[in-house]
């Protein structure tokens, strides 16, 4: 192999190494919210539970607490509200609300990773509320 051919081979291998290598940092794959469900005995805003968001990464593999890095939201704010730190509490209505923790990633750009939990607020059966939810 001549010097020119060797130089092309070295450059090609260098580019392939950069493509396959771990130079781009960690990649968030999933978010798990714990506890996986929360049940409140009634609509009392003084009650609360701290939720935790755990991110599972690849490239290289890792699991990290990302509770303060996610965006928290409640699907039914009349049933449950959640703070920007993951503190969830019942509001004025009984029922069931999904609470989510989301992150928009840059790999690929604009990709949204979301984890969820379910919040149930029990109340009187006469109000068509869930009661004694396990």
Q: What are the pLDDT digits (tens) for 8-62?
A: 444 444 443 344 445 567 889 999 999 999 999 988 889 999 999 999 999 889 9
Alpha-carbon separation of residue 1 from 5, 6, 7, 8 (angstroms): 6, 6, 10, 11
Residue with tokens 């968030």: 28
CATH match of 25-127 with 2.60.40.10: yes
Q: What are the pLDDT digits (tens) for 74-125?
A: 999 999 999 999 999 999 889 999 999 999 987 667 789 999 999 999 987 6
Q: In whole angstroms, what is the distance from residue 64 CA to residue 59 CA? A: 14
Q: Domain-by-domain residue ranges, the chain?
A: 25-127
What's residue 5's pLDDT?
52
Alpha-carbon separation of residue 114 from 31, 47, 55 (angstroms): 6, 25, 10
What's residue 68's pLDDT?
96
What's residue 111's pLDDT?
86
91 or 132: which leads in pLDDT: 91
- Sign of the Cα torsion 111, 61, 114, 73 reads negative
Q: Strand pairing of 37-40 and 109-121? A: parallel
pTM here is 0.76
């Amino acid at each position: 192999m001549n010097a020119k051919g060797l130089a092309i081979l070295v450059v090609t291998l260098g580019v392939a190494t950069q493509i396959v290598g771990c130079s781009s940092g960690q990649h968030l794959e999933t978010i798990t919210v714990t506890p996986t469900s929360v049940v409140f005995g009634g609509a009392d805003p003084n009650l609360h539970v701290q939720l935790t968001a755990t991110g599972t990464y690849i490239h290289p593999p890792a699991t990290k607490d990302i509770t303060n890095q996610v965006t928290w939201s409640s699907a039914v704010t009349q049933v449950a509200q959640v703070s920007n730190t993951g503190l969830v509490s019942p509001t004025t209505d009984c029922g069931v609300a999904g609470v989510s923790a989301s992150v928009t990633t840059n790999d690929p750009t604009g990709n949204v990773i979301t984890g969820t939990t379910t919040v149930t607020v029990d109340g009187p059966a006469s109000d068509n509320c869930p009661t004694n939810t396990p």
